[in-house]
Chain A
Amino acid sequence: MAEATWRDYVKNKPKKPKPLSGLRVLEVCTIVFGPSGPSWLAEMGAEAIKVEIPPLGDLERDLSCSGFRFKEQSPLFLHDNVNKYYLGLDLHKPEGQEIFCQLAAKADIIENNLRPGVMERFNVDYRKIEKINPGIIYLEKNGFGNWGPYAEENRPSNDGASQAFSGIAWMSTFPGQTPVKQMIYLSDMYGALLAEVAVLSALRHRDRTGKGQYIEISQTESIMRTMSWVWPYLDITGQNPPPAGNRDVSVCPADTFCCADGSLVSLAAAAPQEFAGLCAAMDRPELAHDQRFADHLTRLQEENATALLEIIAAWAAQQSPREIEALAREHGFAASRVRDAAQVMADQHIRQRGFMTQVDDAMYGTYLDHEFPVMMSATPPQKKWAARAVGFDNEFLMKNLLNKSEEELKALYETGALGKWADRPGRRPPPDWDGSSDLILSRDQTPAQAERGEK
């Protein structure tokens, strides 16, 4: 029974192993598209080392929500960088490149989202790393891949450009209106996600053969992959599929309707029993037998769909969102308010599932954030700690992974190969940091101070 499988899932999470434990990931990643992927691997238990060029590090640390920051940190950076170790390493310096190679020799996965050719300039591209570590899985993500006309033009890309280039923005609007940009960084986030499918497939290949490989992902090619019917539609009809606002033109009925109080409800009732349920809920059971709505393919015809959606719109305009949700539950179709952030945060279901989970962090305190959205009964992913300052874990990483001596460490800092945060919001620890909490290993503390939690 599903109930037996999932009983006490959230409670037992800390006691269970993680599926990617023992894997080491090195990332040289920036702004959403880059760091999200390694974060997901780290949530599944991989040891992710975030390499940032000191003292400023990942530019995502700069992003605020119209000026709002969470204890000085960018909310976006906080969300996309969990369970990681932070290394401030300057890859412009030969000494920094050497450290990177030493770490790469002990890594399983390397990810970056720099422009083509940059890692080569840093002397840490796939061809060099592969010689040190033939099992390495090496991922490069960017706008246009590493070859082809746009890549060679050195065209910059980002999420907004990718939404524009892919055709998805053109479609995601009302007929005749200017396209709107998705509020989320859709091409960045989805591209990052699709890239991990390649990385984990490559891991399976490596599990079986010992061989690593090189992977390149374009955020635009990734989002194009999601546009399913659009491409055969174009090829068959020779026409652009017109923007359709909130209507799902592949499912009928499926649209968003305005209720009596002016708020919006999205609804879908396509399968025969669902459609009959909706007709009953509207107190119009005869519609289920109307020739125009006889079966799904018939309903989807433009004229019939328009007629049906008008009937539903007139009905919905007399209802409250709560009534429609209740009727959906009673009659077996799908409906939900178009929920705002307050309604999402009040959702007890996603809280109790541990999806909206409370992070308990020594540096950023307690706050709610998304858990990795795949619940795994034997190996549950888990958010354990939040973001850290640039270079926060330098000492620990250098000692534990490379056993660097005090002299070597000193020399690395002197050449600038190693470095720490700039004294700026988002780069430094939060303002109420006590100077020692959460440092795994510090050069600046005596053992007695460390024990007392002093700097």
Chain B
Amino acid sequence: MSADRPKWAEWADWVREKDDPRSAGPKLEALEGLVVLDLSSQSYAGAYCSSMLSEFGAEVIRVEPPQGDFLRTCTPYGLVHQGEGLNYLVEGRNKYHVTLDLNQPEGREVLQGLAAQADVLLETFPLGTMDAWGLGYEDLKKTNPGLIFASITAHGQFGPEADDPMPDYDNVAQAKSGIHYATGAMLPPEHDAGTCPWAVSTKASPWIAWCSAGTFMATGILAALHWRHRTGQGQALDVATTEAYMRLDNYTHIWFQGGGHVTERVGGLDNALWLYCFAPTSDGGVFLGGLRLEMWQAFCDMMGKWDEWGVGDWDSLSPFLNQEAQLKYFPEVAKFTSRHTSGELERMAVEYSRSGRLAPITTVIAPILSPQEAMLDPNWNERGIFTPTQDPVYGRVVAAQAQHKMTETPIRTKWVCRPVGYDNAFIYRKYMGYGPERLSRLRQDGVL
């Protein structure tokens, strides 16, 4: 690499020196000193949201019922690592884990004590649960007017369906968003759902709606924190998971307003862009991308269609930006890509950028990698994404991390998870001054 490094290599070196995750340890943390109570219940949106904060150094106190949160059991195919489901295994990161039975008056009293000392409270219970416990925003703000009280639910805190107690699940939120409907393989001609059961609306994997809700809430909490810094005023925040995911859809709602158009599935194609599609190869598939006419022309050239199609005479991409044209050209594209491996096509694009008729213009060709191939890719490992965490309790665990690279206050993963109630002694001592005797009584009474 050193032989032909880019002109801006000195800049790359400067950035790396400043933000390589390997040097994050001793740096300051953006959210140091921020105390967050995470009461979220069977919600990855909640767990993910508090991870966003704990990665930045907030002290997140994860409050679970004595038997642990149901989310710990949500794990692919029932697989567990040291008794822990794999989702929670990576999303308990940097958090302190305490137990508390909020169905008992004494448990609620302890919670009030913690809430009086917290900056943020995050909860995902069905609407009305916190109020019924006397732990709603209107109750808690009396003792802590600066509190930021954040709720993530299926339907939100108000509106005609808010009182529908429907539990919040990722797959159902995806179904409600409109995005799921418009994603998936197109039915091949002369087939139906019976012969092609896979040619239906297809959701995204794994928990993208929950991640969207959690991440939007994290931005809301941080904006509210800035407001509180200026005014001292706290507030309540409300995210509905369906709305959060729907917000990532750029156009189906606007297209609908242009004459009632309902966006349908286009498989690996795209409604707004060309050349921009997934295409099959002899050993998998590739993404082909060329947002400019010249990049599509370059691909036609690679396919050997320059003269046959009169590609050199094309002067606009517009004729290709409708489905009719795409369905006409895509079979030709697929016929060509199917004859090659993904690797051959990738190299072909690089070669074209050097010696092709339109060089240096070429087409973006990216192999559709399996997660395993992605995880083994040296690029991401060099950038610290899959550095195994050596967890004090769970040992070696690979969790995606270091996604925020920052010069002053980088994120870090200190530990990935904690067993249920692991930090009871520390947290209740630190915030409530409870010693072993008090804790032992609370445990006996089933409060912890």
Contact = CB atoms under 8 A, between A and B. Distances in A.
Query: Nearest 10 pairs between A and B by C-beta?
Result: A117-B8, A374-B220, A167-B371, A174-B198, A200-B222, A300-B78, A266-B175, A378-B235, A268-B169, A213-B408
16 contacts: A63-B273, A158-B364, A165-B374, A177-B185, A180-B183, A181-B277, A198-B404, A204-B226, A226-B206, A232-B398, A234-B375, A246-B200, A250-B85, A332-B167, A372-B247, A376-B236
A171 B167 CA distance: 25
B405 interface: yes
Contacts of A63: 272-273
A161 B30 contact: no
Interface stretch (B107-115, B261-269, B422-430): B261-269
Contact of A221 (B19, B156, B385): B385
Interface string B350-379: 000000000000001011111111110111
Interface in A212-240: 212-218, 220-222, 224-237, 239-240
Interface stretch (B130-138, B297-305, B307-315, B440-448): B130-138
A interface, by DSSP: helix, strand, loop or mixed? mixed
Contacts of B258: 65, 68, 70, 75
B78 A297 contact: yes
A149 B233 contact: no
Contacts of B262: 340-342
A276 interface: no
Interface string A198-212: 101111110101011
Contact of A379 (B136, B223, B246, B403): B223
A168 interface: yes
B352 to A, nearest CB: 13
Contact of A190 (B212, B255, B285): B212
Interface in A131-173: 144-152, 154, 156-158, 160-161, 163-173
A229 B206 contact: yes
A178 B409 contact: no
Contact of B371 (A240, A333, A376): A240
A308 to B, nearest CB: 12
A99 B322 CA distance: 40
A277 to B, nearest CB: 10
B116 interface: no
Contacts of A329: 164, 166
Nearest to A191: B403
A186 B209 CA distance: 11
Given A249-B77, A356-B253, A266 B184 contact: no
B171 A264 contact: no
A221 B227 contact: no
Nearest to A125: B11
B271 A66 contact: yes
Interface stretch (B87-95, B98-106, B431-439): B87-95
Given A329-B166, A378-B227, 18 more contacts: A2-B236, A4-B138, A65-B255, A65-B271, A145-B383, A179-B285, A194-B215, A196-B219, A200-B223, A204-B226, A207-B226, A214-B406, A218-B383, A264-B200, A274-B167, A296-B70, A341-B181, A374-B216
B256 interface: yes
B364 A227 contact: no
B85 A202 contact: no
A6 B238 contact: yes
Given A147-B13, A377-B237, A345 B253 contact: yes
A198 B406 contact: yes
A59 B206 CA distance: 31
A20 B257 contact: no
A398 B154 CA distance: 46
A370 B398 CA distance: 36
Contacts of B91: 228
B180 A370 contact: no
A314 B373 CA distance: 37
Contact of A193 (B215, B277, B401): B215
B278 A181 contact: yes
Contact of A216 (B15, B157, B224, B255): B15
A204 B15 contact: no
A443 B262 CA distance: 43
Contact of B287 (A160, A232, A244): A160
A202 B253 contact: no
Contacts of B205: 168, 171-172, 227, 243-244
B73 interface: yes
B418 to A, nearest CB: 16
Contact of A207 (B19, B229, B255, B374): B229
A2 B285 contact: no
A75 B255 contact: yes
A158 B260 CA distance: 29
A214 B19 contact: yes
Contact of A241 (B11, B253, B371): B371
A315 interface: no
B336 interface: no
A165 B222 contact: no
A179 B251 contact: no
B122 interface: no
A116 B12 contact: yes
A224 B270 CA distance: 22
B405 A160 contact: no
B254 A79 contact: yes
A349 interface: yes
B121 interface: no
Given A76-B250, A232-B81, A266 B171 contact: yes
A341 B181 CA distance: 8
Contacts of A218: 383, 403
Nearest to B74: A250
A97 B277 CA distance: 37
B158 A9 contact: yes
